[in-house]
Structure 1
Amino acid sequence: MKNWIDSQVSPQDIIISSSISLCRNFKKNRFTDKMKCDEAKENVDMIFKILCDKSQDEEFKLIKLWEEENKCSETYRDKHIISEELLKRKDRGAFIVNKNETLSIMINEEDNVRIQCTVDGLNLHGIYKYINKFDDYIEEDIAYAFHGDYGYLSASPSNVGTGMKATVAMHLPALTISQEIPNILNGLNRVGMTINGMYGEKLKSDGNMYHISNQITLGVKEDEIIENLKGVVFNIASEEKKYREIFLAEHKHEVEDKIFRSYGILKNAKMLKSKETLELLSYIRFGAELGLLDIDKKTLNNILIKSRTSLVMKNLKSESSSVEQNLERANIVKDLLS
């Protein structure tokens, strides 16, 4: 499966990526936050050995956050390889990642283990089949905390049941500009789903990119969660396209002007701030989706990730001021666009 950053999805597709994670706890262990640090760390090498022994066709790397610098750890979060919850537990947190960084097995996050896979486009069934294999590998050697009536047990009540969180990332500029996101949220809540901004606030994401995901894991099967989410995603995509048609019919020249101005700024700016880059990038992504700009998804996704402050700072390789970061961010974006 393809890493979403190196996407080969058509530029016209407003779906950016899809992801599934499975939360698991061990029957003989306490929840992560109830464990002593040394006790929690014992899980790390044990799980790594299990996966290396049983996954001969995969090339894994183990990252122990307590051995990493903060800015390096944050790059993994900004590439959506690990969660903010794992970073909060840096003193005991670790993760195992495969070669193309689609699979991440987080250890000592909110739960003992979170198995996550993120790929380009919409491929939820394929992801579930893939990560189920690693879930089984671990369970063959370590019994999970499981209740006959409630399913898999979790530190968070929202994850009890299947323990599965399915997520689809979408670019929704027309619905954002039309202030329709709160209405989308209300509709999603009624069917056990939710929407969150990828960057910024819940209902006003910087860059107009959102995560659509299930809220309910108890009393539903994994296939039901996936099919329900797919139906919701198709409906949201349809609404986004409808509002795009309205914008183009009523404000064609203004929309096109904003797209090409944004492209010009990103190609020529001397300095770029993080939030500004996300906003401008949304417009050129919009232009690519409308067929007005000849830019592939791989380039757009690489700009999105490599312009994040953590990766800019890593690129500079030393402590830097905000001015130096903004200069470097502009250079990164120019190089990628050229």
Structure 2
Amino acid sequence: MSGRNDLSELNLTDNLFEWYSYKGNYDDVVVSTRARLVRNLADFPFPQKIKTEDAVRVQTLVFDAFSKKADFYQTNSIPSLMTLGFNLFMERGMIKESVNNAPAGGIVQCLDGNKSNMGFIATVNDRDHIRISCTNAGLDIEGAYKKCHEVDLELQQYLQFAASTEYGYLTSNIKDSGTGLKLSAMVHLPSTAFLEQLPTLVEALQKKNIELKYGFGPNSDSKSGFSAGTFFIASTTISSIGNEAEQRTLFAEAINFIIQTELENRRIIIENHMTRAKDIIFKCFAGTKIGYLCTRGEALSIVSGLRWGLNLGLFNNLTYHQIMSIYYRVQDAKLKFILSNGKFSFPQDIANDRALQEQYMRMKLIRNTFEHIQVCE
């Protein structure tokens, strides 16, 4: 194991780069932008077919390469990562659960304090030998890509990646072969969903090789096309068409199309549907003022409603990054960390129920965060 490797819950929480706490470009629609580069080492099978001893060798080679700049990177094998720490990464969308079952799986975290707006992480042996990713607040394709590209160039000084002149970089999924670049953005589209325009948008994006899927899972009870919170992930689907610069340009055009679609639908709502919109939004706002318990799903509804209200000019003394920051900070693993590292008093009837204590704490944090919101009608 190389680099700094203290991933205790306290150290992990202190060092996680909270990109969601920063203001981003076009953050009224685009919550975050993510770039990911996939690389595999030459002369080693993909993780799905690799022997344990070879997987360990891959992990050692990758960790050693990152250790050349030990002051900037922290490496950890998955077995050494505590459950709560793993879940904190999961909740922030930095890793997927599949890395937990990867042969000799590992993660690499960037600890460069000068780039605290960059949610950088690299996974080892999770479907590919290396997956380098960076998440930035708002619309920042170039910023997220630049960090991944810099790390890629650093690693190429010490590692030989599998590639061919015909197919480019070789990957476990053929759709990732070529540049190995995947771009994605989390977008919030309440106006488009409200007007039931999502199918039209999805169809238009498919023609641009862009996939639009639910950001937090679908809400099957909704007849208006709402997802859970109306958050979506727009992402590229293939890495073999064009070079990295061309792929970034095409993705930027697609995201701009999404932004313009949402802005136009927002205008239509302001002119024609404000009563219905206000009904949804102010019911979400009421959730910050009343009640004692709040589930994760209810928190997402509050976050979505407040963002939409801010879109439509209904709130003052509120920012988009403030809204997203509290959402990520009231996730299950984060609340478990808070409860395990502090002394709190709870109503007697939930004094021994940790699940209800988490809901109680979530509601308290949400209420305190949004107590100064001003309504503008």
The Cα shift of 1:12 comes to 6.3
Residue in 2 aligned with 1:35? 50
For the Cα contact (< 8 Å) 2:28–2:307, is it kept in 1? no
Q: Is the 8 A contact 1:25 1:154 kept in 2?
A: yes
Match of 1:61 in 2: 74
Spell out the pairing of 1:290-329 with structure 2 (5 A cutoff): 290-293=312-315, 294-317=317-340, 321-329=354-362
- Is 1:337 the counterpart of 2:370 in the alignment? yes
Q: 1:330 & 1:44 partners in 2: Cα distance?
A: 42
d(CA) in 1 for partners of 2:282, 2:226:
23
3-state SS of 2:157 partner? helix
The letter of the residue matching 2:95 is: I
- Partner in structure 2 of residue 246 of structure 1: 268
Per-residue deviation at 1:187?
1.8
The residue identity in structure 2 corresponding to 1:95 is I
CA pair 38-267 structure 1, distance change in 2 beyond 3 A:
farther
CA contact (8 A) 1:192 1:214 kept: yes
**Contact 2:122/2:132, CA 8 A, preserved across alignment:** yes
Of 143-152 and 264-273, the range deviating more from structure 2: 264-273
Equivalent position SS for 2:123: strand
Distance 2:95 2:245 in 1: 24
Alignment partner of 2:161: what SS? coil
The partner residue of 1:287 within 309, 312, 329 is 309
Which of 163, 179, 184 is the matching residue for 2:180?
Answer: 163
Q: How big is each residue's C-alpha offset from its partner over 1:125-180, in whole Å with a ceiling of 9 and x where there is no partner?
A: 23222221211121221111101101111111111111100111111011122222
Contact 1:20 1:116 in 2 (8 A): yes
Counterpart of 2:348 in structure 1 is none
Whether contact under 8 Å (1:169, 1:210) holds in the other structure is yes
Q: Deviations over 1:304-323 (max 9, x none)?
A: 21222232233333996432
CA distance in 1, matches of 2:293, 2:25: 30
In structure 2, how many angstroms separate the alpha carbons of the residues matched to 1:162 and 1:320?
50
* Aligned-partner Cα distance in 1 for 2:35–2:234: 12
TM-score of the superposed pair, with normalisation by structure 2: 0.81
Aligned CA distance change for structure 1 residues 87 and 288 (closer, same or farther; 3 Å): farther
SS state at 2:360 partner: helix
Aligned partners of 2:353, 2:188: CA distance in 1, in Å? Answer: 32
Give the aligned length. Answer: 334
Task: Report if the CA contact (8 A) 1:12-1:289 is conserved.
Answer: no
More displaced, 173-182 or 37-46? 37-46
1:97 to 109, 124, 132: 109
Residue 9 of structure 1: SS of its match in structure 2?
Answer: coil
Do the aligned partners of residues 30 and 11 (structure 1) sit closer, same or farther apart at CA in structure 2, a change above 3 Å counting?
closer
CA contact (8 A) 2:39 2:128 kept: yes
- Structure 1 pair 84–195 and aligned structure 2 pair: CA distance change class (3 A): farther
- Look up the equivalent residue of 2:338 and give its one-letter code: N
Cα contact 1:11–1:295 (8 A) shared by 2: no
Over the aligned positions, Cα root-mean-square deviation in angstroms equals 2.4
Relative to structure 1, the CA distance from residue 204 to residue 28 in structure 2 (aligned partners, 3 Å threshold; closer, same or farther) is: farther
The answer as to 2:259 corresponding to 1:227 is no
* Unaligned runs of at least 5 residues, structure 1: none
Q: CA deviation at 1:50?
A: 1.8
| Corresponding residue SS for 2:108 | strand
Structure 1 residues 124-203: aligned runs within 5 Å = 124-201=141-218
Q: Give 1:211's match in structure 2, choosing from 217, 221, 233.
A: 233
CA contact (8 A) 1:3 1:118 kept: no
Deviates more, 1:98-107 or 1:169-178: 98-107
Report deviation, 1:10.
6.6
Counterpart for residue 76 of structure 1: 89
Indicate the SS of the match to 2:32: strand
Greater alpha carbon shift after TM alignment, 313-322 vs 200-209: 313-322
Preserved CA contact (<8 Å) 1:19 1:166: yes
Tell me if the contact between 1:7 and 1:297 (Cα under 8 Å) persists in the aligned partners: no
Moved more, 237-246 or 38-47: 38-47
Deviates further, 97-106 or 269-278: 97-106
* 8 Å contact from structure 2 (residues 25, 137) kept in 1: no
Contact 1:306-1:312 within 8 A present in 2 as well: yes
Structure 2 CA distance for aligned equivalents of residues 167 and 273 of structure 1 = 28
- Per-residue Cα deviation, 1:46-102 (whole angstroms, up to 9, x for no partner): 32332231x47x62222322122333212101112223332343x632111113362
- Is contact 1:259-1:287 (8 Å) kept? yes
> Which residue of 2 is the match for residue 236 of structure 1?
258
Identify the structure with bigger relative contact order (alpha carbons < 8 Å, sequence gap 6+).
Answer: 1
The aligned counterpart of 2:61 is: 46
Give the TM-score of the pair, scaled to structure 1: 0.90
Alpha-carbon shift at residue 262 of structure 1 (Å): 1.6
Q: 1:254 to 1:205 in 2, by over 3 A?
A: closer
Does the 8 Å contact 2:99/2:123 carry over to 1? Answer: yes
